[in-house]
Amino acid sequence: MDVVIGIDTGTTATKGVAAGIDGEVRVSTSVHYPLSVPGPGRAELDASRLRDAAIEALVTVAQAVRERGDRVVAVSLSAFLHGLAPLGADGTPRGPLITWADNRASAQSRRIAETGRARVLQARTGTPVHPMAPLAKLAWWRDEDPATLRDTPRWGGVKEVVLGGLAGEGFVLDLSVASGTGMYDIHERRWDPEALDIAGVRPDQLAEVVPTTTALKLHPDVASAAGLPPGTPLIIGAADGPLANLGVGATPAGVAAVSLGTSGALRMLVDHPVADQAGRLFCYALTENRWALGGAINNAGSVVRWAGQTMAEGFDRPAAEGEDADVRDAALLVEAAQAPPGSDGLLCLPYLLGERAPWWRGGMRGAYLGLRREHGRAHLVRAAVEGVCQQLALVRDTFAAENIAMTEVRATGGAVNSGLWVGVLAAALDLPVAIADTPEGTGLGACLLGLHAIGDLPDLDEAAALIDITGHTRPDPHDAGLYRRLRPLIEKSAEAVTDVLTELDSLAPSPLPSTEKAVGAGPA
């Protein structure tokens, strides 16, 4: 079979996937790397390692494809949004890549909002003004290190970094990732002059924006290492979130996609850019006439990983030598499922990495409310899962406020392997949740977009029929009603404690530099 290889660069792993026109994932691999936390509010990746990981994943999958007797007809790319790194004139990284989880630009995003410009910028660019966005990150450089900002020949995110290693030509960026920078006018299709003025960069320091179906060519050395023919098409691809919709078949009207990986997101596809006047939803491109409307949350699988790291000591089932953290987390979730819905009155604000949608307020921190002596580890872990799913439900409520109907959710990401996660998600959203037959939703989406780009999949809506569904989880009516009653308490609590938590954070001593191990990365 002719196949496309999708390369999906995530927060803690790069995945390689091979799939053909039948939508079946035939080969997959993962290359992991640590997320560095060098100081309070910081979250960085080694940009050069991202390039190496993409090449490693491509070579591994290409070899496996050949061993199966299949033929690679193209390579297509996916990347997580909101990264930023200084680049040399030849595209070589000059420093670490600052990720979406990095909050160093909180003061800058707050100042932009205080000027009253945030809503109009979001309406034009599709990206909320928030510390995650490259707009705010560049404003941080403008304030803290203006010489570096001025003298850096190029600035780019994950896609530009990876393309610098895989492509043989050009300094280009796809429309999808550009629409997540906060600096690209999605209506006029140009870098936004006001945003660039705030960021302190010139248009020539940023990449040329091209359609997501644009075909480049693999660098000859990369093609040779992967055993692929010279001139193999390299489809520039899109951002991970919109591609996850495609990869789980969430393309028809009313069908949304939920991603539950390191972070999370809820998205629906619409046929034109939509400006949410209340400033609660983002709008990112999949193609020039398909756009993902939705909201991302900072905390999903990372919250359970934190729970495993902090609550597993003395766990009844001791960890075996060298046991994988995923196994430990799965055991915690089984234990947490024994606690009742609502966690016996325990509420978790799971904002360990701050938070994004639907409020887009920087400086948020996590908290447990309602703790009593009878609450145990199972309650604490279950409350964290409920807090994450309730945050996604707050995003879903925003769609309802905009009179956008949502009838079904298709879920992807590492967390969907847990019955607790899926059951709580269905009840919180009060919608049936379908699980795609592949955990590689984003990588498969990259493959399908690649097939579309080379003409083998003319209509992207056909992708929905290609995706096998393993089953539907319908919401428990009692649990759905309980979570509906609890949701206003989350909003009240988050509003009430934000100032206190922010002040506490300013008084806390700076943590030592550290790294976070892979958490089952997923799109945001």
* Residue 372: count of CB within 10 angstroms of its CB: 9
Task: Give me the CATH topology for the region 301-434+473-508.
Answer: Nucleotidyltransferase; domain 5 (3.30.420)
Is residue 198 over pLDDT 60? yes
- Give the pLDDT mean for 490-497: 93
In this prediction, residue 434 has a pLDDT band, given cuts at 50, 70 and 90, of very high
* Partner residues linked to 304 by β-bridges: none
- Give the pLDDT mean for 264-289: 92
pLDDT by residue (tens digit) across 24-68?
999 999 999 999 999 988 999 999 999 999 999 999 999 999 999
In this prediction, residue 519 has a pLDDT band, given cuts at 50, 70 and 90, of very low
Rounded to the nearest integer, the mean pLDDT of the chain is: 91
* Residue pointed to by tokens 């308490």: 489
- Calculate the CA dihedral of residues 5, 180, 397, 405 and round it to 10 degrees: -60
Q: Which of 157-166, 298-307, 365-374 is least confident?
A: 298-307
Q: What is the pLDDT of residue 509?
A: 61
pLDDT by residue (tens digit) across 348-380?
999 998 888 999 876 788 999 999 999 999 999
pLDDT by residue (tens digit) across 132-156?
999 999 999 999 999 999 999 999 9
Q: What is the pLDDT of residue 46?
A: 98
- CA–CA distance, 290 with 66 (Å, rounded to integer): 33
In this prediction, residue 414 has a pLDDT band, given cuts at 50, 70 and 90, of confident
* Best mean pLDDT range from 393-402, 467-476, 514-523: 393-402
- CA–CA distance, 375 with 380 (Å, rounded to integer): 7
Say whether 178 sits in a helix, a strand or coil.
Answer: helix
Domain 2-253+438-456 has CATH 3.30.420.40: yes
Is residue 319 over pLDDT 70? no
Say if 2-253+438-456 and 301-434+473-508 have the same CATH topology: yes
Is residue 327 over pLDDT 50? yes
- CA–CA distance, 182 with 479 (Å, rounded to integer): 38
Kindly give, in sequence order, each residue whose CB lies less than 8 Å from that of residue 455, ignoring residues fewer than 6 positions away: none
* Residue 208: count of CB within 10 angstroms of its CB: 12
Q: Which of 171-185, 255-269, 421-435, 507-521 is least confident?
A: 507-521
Residue 358, preceding bond cis, omega within 30 degrees? yes
pLDDT by residue (tens digit) across 125-138?
999 999 999 999 99
Phi and psi torsions of 218, nearest 5°: -60, 140
Question: CA 229, 235, 240: angle at the middle one, nearest 5?
Answer: 130
Q: What is the pLDDT of residue 180?
A: 97
Alpha-carbon separation of residue 497 from 53, 300, 345, 349, 490 (angstroms):
41, 21, 18, 10, 11
Is residue 518 over pLDDT 70? no
- CA–CA distance, 86 with 167 (Å, rounded to integer): 19
pLDDT by residue (tens digit) across 206-217?
999 999 999 999
* Residue pointed to by tokens 């001025």: 150
- CA–CA distance, 14 with 29 (Å, rounded to integer): 8
Domain ranges in the chain?
2-253+438-456, 301-434+473-508
